[in-house]
């Protein structure tokens, strides 16, 4: 992986332990991953073969959410926390295809994502993209970052995306708190879009997947529907509400012939009054 080594020179890529973003990259067929990530991915696929369509469904959900927020809700600026590695189309490509002036701030704490940050910032000349290297467990480092302050106009609504990220926070109260702390900074009319891992539809193999992630040093927490719904307390849910991600406003982009047992993620979009 000479290219990775060159791009990551001077950055501790933590290649000895699995990382969620890089496991995700491997499952989706990417090349920006290391032996620990591939081991976690392969072992997880053996335990739960639906992992690949599940991850594709989650990615398709993000695409539909981005298009909805830009084309229907009229949002022109976005904060994407837990960006992951660049996989086209990225959020800025989706929303800037609706309006080239749209602004996107990406945030992640994976050093390899940082090494690829330039690829995330190749947007339109009319719009703006920025990247913040920060951990969502400390949301103030995000909302006080110069890239956040200089890119987003907090007198106007923001689309906050937390796609497949809160399952890396073990404690429910902490996860709810950090989401709320970011949302509290955003003005009325902003939107929260989330996908939240759940084991409610196929718990036995997913318990084994969770153990494999934990064995290789990565947190993976599944949440039941009531807990997933609590992230949206006080917000106005957009139809169809909280559903498995492949059922949120399907448009043909989601994987075909996927059963409910294949999808371990709830998804929803809600407006801040």
Answer whether 132's CB lies under 8 Å from 145's CB.
yes
User: Residue 259 gets which letter from DSSP?
Assistant: -
Say which residues have a Cβ less than 8 Å from residue 207's Cβ, sequence separation at least 6: 199
Between the alpha carbon of residue 55 and those of residues 37, 104, 113, 152, the distances in Å are 15, 23, 18, 29
Averages of pLDDT over each 10 residues, the chain, 273 residues:
40 70 80 86 88 90 97 98 82 96 92 74 83 94 97 98 96 97 98 98 94 86 98 98 97 78 97 98
Distance CA 145, CA 215 (A): 34
Q: Which parts of 121-221 fold into alpha helices (H)?
A: 139-143, 146-151, 172-185, 203-215
| pLDDT recorded at residue 110 | 78
Q: Please, which residues bridge with residue 196 across strands?
A: 266
Q: What is the β-pairing status of strands 159-163 and 103-108?
A: unpaired
What is the value of pTM for the model shown?
A: 0.88
């Amino acid at each position: 992986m000479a290219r990775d080594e060159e791009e990551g020179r001077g950055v501790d890529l933590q290649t000895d332990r699995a990382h969620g973003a890089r496991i995700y990259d491997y499952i989706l067929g990417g090349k920006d991953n290391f032996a620990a990530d591939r081991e976690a991915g392969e072992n997880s696929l053996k335990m739960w073969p639906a992992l690949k369509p599940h991850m594709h469904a989650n990615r398709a959900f993000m695409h539909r959410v981005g298009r909805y927020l830009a084309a229907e809700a009229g949002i022109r600026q976005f904060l994407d926390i837990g960006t992951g590695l660049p996989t086209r189309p990225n959020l800025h490509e989706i929303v800037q295809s609706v309006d080239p002036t749209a602004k996107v701030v990406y945030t992640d704490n994976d050093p390899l994502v940082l090494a690829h940050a330039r690829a995330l910032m190749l947007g339109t000349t009319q719009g703006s993209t920025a990247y913040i290297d920060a951990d969502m467990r400390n949301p103030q480092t995000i909302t006080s970052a110069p890239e956040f302050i200089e890119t987003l106009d907090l007198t106007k609504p923001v689309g906050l995306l937390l796609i497949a990220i809160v399952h890396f926070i073990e404690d429910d109260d902490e996860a709810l708190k950090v989401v709320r702390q970011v949302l509290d900074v955003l003005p009325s009319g902003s939107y929260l879009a989330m996908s939240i891992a759940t084991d409610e539809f196929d718990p036995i193999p997913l318990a084994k997947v969770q153990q494999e992630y934990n064995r290789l040093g990565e947190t993976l927490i599944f949440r039941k529907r009531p807990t997933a719904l609590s992230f949206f307390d006080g917000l106005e849910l957009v139809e169809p509400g909280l559903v498995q991600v492949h059922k949120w406003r399907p448009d043909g982009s989601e994987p075909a012939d996927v059963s409910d047992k294949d999808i371990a993620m709830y998804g929803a979009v809600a407006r801040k009054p």
